[in-house]
A and B are shown apart, each in its own frame.
Chain A
């Protein structure tokens, strides 16, 4: 389905001759509309996945912006306001690809950095810049980034 979607989007660009990002976006949205009208949708289909992936992307971009502003604050504030540390985050994800996605998302968010994965793939060691208490830090990561990675991958 994703393949058909992209074929239709590129076909739109080719037929209109608009070789630009705006043209591709228009074609992509139109193709989505056409597929939505002509194919069955419900839980577990392509149409259930696309909004989740888009939402995860938006949430991730928002996290990056917020975290950037926080790190900017700590760069200029007195050093004593930071509470850095390394926290072991237990993983509910299975498989190398989801864990890689989560680790990359954590590292891309400024202020947190994934250091290593345990050999049995059940713990991720994360360095954080502002850890009030390790348990709430764990909860924060599990309830935002890990939840969205899980939604995208399942």
Chain B
């Protein structure tokens, strides 16, 4: 399980209404249903992910996030989630603005491009970083808007977005053990822009 799931679980209220944008195969919503009895809806564009959601009993709407969320009313969900998707949309600021309109609160997770390994890769090889964590080449990556922790903080400040909680995670985000407090946690929290592989933000407008 992805470690951001565990962080999100802490921030989601029991029995609340949750919208997951880019819900993938529905694993997060399934997890939150089991742990928090949430009423959930996913939005997804990939056909095979949609079929998996439906097969798992996860309600899902086929919709393109880049077209906005005009069909969702203001404050109609308690929490709107956007995990590992911000960097893959055409207009991250627009999607963020829409999320904040539809949800009373939002949780966003994204890979931190300011991580020291990415910096080292670029510095030493002079090429766009490719790793287990970010496995795509620059020309075929769905991740078209990478940002750093600092970039996201600046955007929140510019758009008057209040940050309720922050959580920074190390290394491989597919490995749940990475989310456990380790000797490195204080270092990551002190310099997240350099040491966090993944950032989890809990925000509201």
A and B interact = no
Binding site for A on B (CB under 8 A): none
